[in-house]
Amino acid sequence: MRSVVFKAGCYGLQKLLDICSAYGEEWDIKFNPEKSCVGPIGGNHPSAKVELVAKSLQWRDQVKYLGCMLRCKSCDIDTSGFVSKFYGAFNSIMHVLGYKRNEMVAVQLVGSYCLP
């Protein structure tokens, strides 16, 4: 394993993506640039072109990371998707269990299906 130090910025990001591409070729891992994007954290996106597997990545104001929508300029997390999924699953569980439900079963189902 080699140790590499990069400057922060688009040049360093491109070098890291090149390392990922080379690793993917060596180990037969396919990266999909259509599903990938880049977003500047805490500022405006630069006009620099960043490529993954010889295809240009799009700069976005919001990026999805582990299911969370992250607003790049303000570094805020948009939780509206989580809240709506929680209430949808919660209401479905309560409807199926009915009026005379076992509380422990309800707690277990909510923990399994509603919480991330």
pLDDT of residue 2 exceeding 60, the answer is no
- Token digits for 19? 């390392």
Ranges of H-type helices in the chain: 10-27, 80-97, 103-113
The structure tokens listed for 70 are 């992250």
Higher pLDDT, 2 or 31: 31
- Give the residue extent of every domain in the chain: 10-78, 81-113
Q: Which residues, listed in sequence order, are joined to residue 76 by a DSSP beta bridge?
A: 71
Contact 78, 69 (CB under 8 A): yes
> Greater confidence, 9 or 87?
87
pLDDT tens for each residue of 57-82: 998 888 887 778 888 888 888 888 88
Quote the pTM value.
0.60
First to last CA, the chain: 35
**Average pLDDT value for residue range 8-36:** 91
Q: Provide the pLDDT for residue 3.
A: 53
Model pLDDT, residue 9 = 81
pLDDT band at 16 (very low <50, low <70, confident <90, very high): very high
In angstroms, the Cα distances linking 86 to 15, 29, 89, 96, 111 are 40, 34, 5, 16, 10
How far apart are alpha carbons 71 and 12 in whole angstroms? 22
